[in-house]
Each structure stands twice: as C-alpha cells, then as structure tokens.
C-alpha cells in the first residue's frame, strides 16, 4: 500500500456496487442448473435466507450451513468452472458504469480500497477483480484436504464482524482506521451499521428502507446509483 494514502475507501458489494446479491444469485444459479439438489427445495431455502437477511435476523452460521454447504458438495475444479459461467451469465451483465466510476474515483485518487462483504470469498474474489479492487475482506470458507468443508474459517465478515476484520486487515498493513484523514464506507444494508458508525464518511448507497431512515435521521449522505435491484430486497 502506498504510504502516502491518506484516505480509506471501503465498499460493501451486494446491492451496493452490484444491483443484485451475489450470494443469493450464486445459489440460484446452482439450483436452476441442477447443481444444488432439488431445485425447488434449494430455491425455497435461498429465498428464506434472503428474507431473514433483509429483516436483519440472519446469523452467519445459518447462512454458512446452506451457502458454504453448496461449496462442500462439489470438487473445486467443478466449482471453478461453474463460477466462470456465473460471472459470464449473471455478474458481468450487472456491472454498471456508475458503480465502476465510483470505485475508479477512489482508485485514481490513490485511496486504499477494499471490498468488505459478508458473501464468501470464493464467490466474490473474481467480482472484486472485475472492479479492479485488490483487497477483499469476505467471509472465508474453510478449505481442507483439497475440498471446502462447509464451515467458516475465522471471523465472518458480517455485522460487527466487518469491523473486526477491517481492523485486523489494517493492522496487518501496519495501519489503523483512525490514522486516515478520511475513511469512507459505502453500504446499502442496516446489517452494516457497525462499520458505518466507525468511518468518518458513512455513505448509504441504494439503501434499504430501514437504513435510509437511519441516514435521514443522522444526516448521512444517500447515494442512489441503481434502479430496482435484480433480486429481493426489503
């Protein structure tokens, strides 16, 4: 990281930089292509988890049981091939110029940038690369003996866990969030309130109704760069 960087820019991914939820869409992609067991059962569980997330009562363990279980059910070489299809069919068509411009604005300014997402790193690492962002803080799936285990490795990047993971990442670089003259976090979700409260510049982006209410009350900037999202959002 360039030592002269005086600003930190953190981005949530789903419904913030993307008009979709990559975790939800990946599970849906596997279900509709017959790679997640009974398609109707898988889609119903996927919808149920999304509803819980939107209500703010989803736990990391509940999400991992299903989402990381999908990784554990298949060998990595098959998952990698399917993810290439997923990027081509679902993610790349959803990349929008306003989102790319927002990221590039910070990259070109020399800011230290990272995506901070609750979605697992297998799904999101190629997406981060598509945005040109080097650093990714995501929920890490455990990997042993050449297979994903279906369990979480370390602290999930979710709710208060995002603050813990960002602090640990910055510490690994010899930095702390308070050392930056300006720190930004862009997010759509009320689940990200803990990290929004830590930065100097919280910017709610395509916010859910509950987060929009908080932003209005606290006079935080609101940035709308998408129209209607491509999947469920409350």
Q: What is the per-residue pLDDT for 234?
A: 47
The CA dihedral of 62, 68, 72, 76, to the nearest 10 degrees, is 180
pLDDT digits (tens, 9 = 90+) for 159-185: 999 999 999 999 999 999 999 999 999
Above pLDDT 90, what percent of the chain? 81
> Is 231 a known active-site residue?
no
* 232 falls within a domain: no
Residue 228 lies in a domain: no
CATH number of the domain to which 154 belongs:
3.40.50.1000
Q: Which residues pair with 144 in a beta bridge?
A: 147
Within-domain flag for 230: no
Q: How many domains does the chain have?
A: 1
In which domain, by residue range, is 171 found?
A: 7-223
Max CA distance (Å), the chain:
53
Determine, yes or no, domain membership for 2: no
Domain annotation covers residue 1: no
pLDDT in tens, 11-68: 999 999 999 999 999 999 999 999 988 888 988 988 898 888 878 788 878 888 889 9
Q: Is residue 208 part of a domain?
A: yes
pLDDT digits (tens, 9 = 90+) for 89-134: 999 999 999 999 999 999 999 999 999 999 999 999 999 999 999 9
Q: What are phi and psi of 144, to 5 degrees?
A: -135, 140
Is residue 149 domain-resident? Answer: yes
Residue among 160, 208, 187 at smallest CA distance from 59: 160
136 domain residue, yes or no: yes
Q: What is the mean pLDDT of residues 201-214?
A: 96
């Amino acid at each position: 990281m360039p030592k002269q960087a005086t600003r930190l820019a953190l981005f949530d991914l789903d419904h913030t930089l993307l008009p979709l939820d990559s975790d939800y869409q990946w599970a849906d992609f596997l279900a509709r292509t017959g790679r997640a067991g009974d398609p109707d059962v898988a889609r119903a569980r996927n919808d149920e988890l999304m509803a819980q997330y939107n209500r703010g009562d989803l736990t990391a363990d509940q999400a991992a049981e299903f989402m990381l279980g999908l990784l554990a059910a298949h060998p990595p070489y098959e998952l990698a091939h399917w993810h290439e299809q997923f990027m081509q069919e679902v993610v790349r068509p959803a990349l929008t110029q306003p989102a790319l411009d927002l990221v590039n604005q910070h990259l070109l300014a020399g800011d230290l940038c990272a995506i901070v997402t609750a979605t697992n790193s297998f799904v999101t690492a190629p997406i981060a690369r598509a945005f040109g962002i080097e650093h990714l803080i995501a929920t890490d799936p455990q990997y042993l003996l050449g297979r994903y285990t279906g369990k979480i490795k370390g602290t999930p990047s979710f709710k208060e866990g995002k603050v813990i993971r960002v602090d640990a990442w910055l510490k690994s670089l010899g930095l702390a969030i308070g050392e930056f003259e300006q720190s930004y976090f862009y997010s759509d979700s009320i689940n990200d309130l803990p990290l929004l409260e830590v930065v100097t510049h919280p910017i709610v982006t395509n916010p859910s109704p509950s987060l929009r209410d908080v932003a209005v009350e606290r006079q935080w900037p609101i940035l709308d760069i998408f129209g209607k999202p491509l999947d469920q959002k409350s």
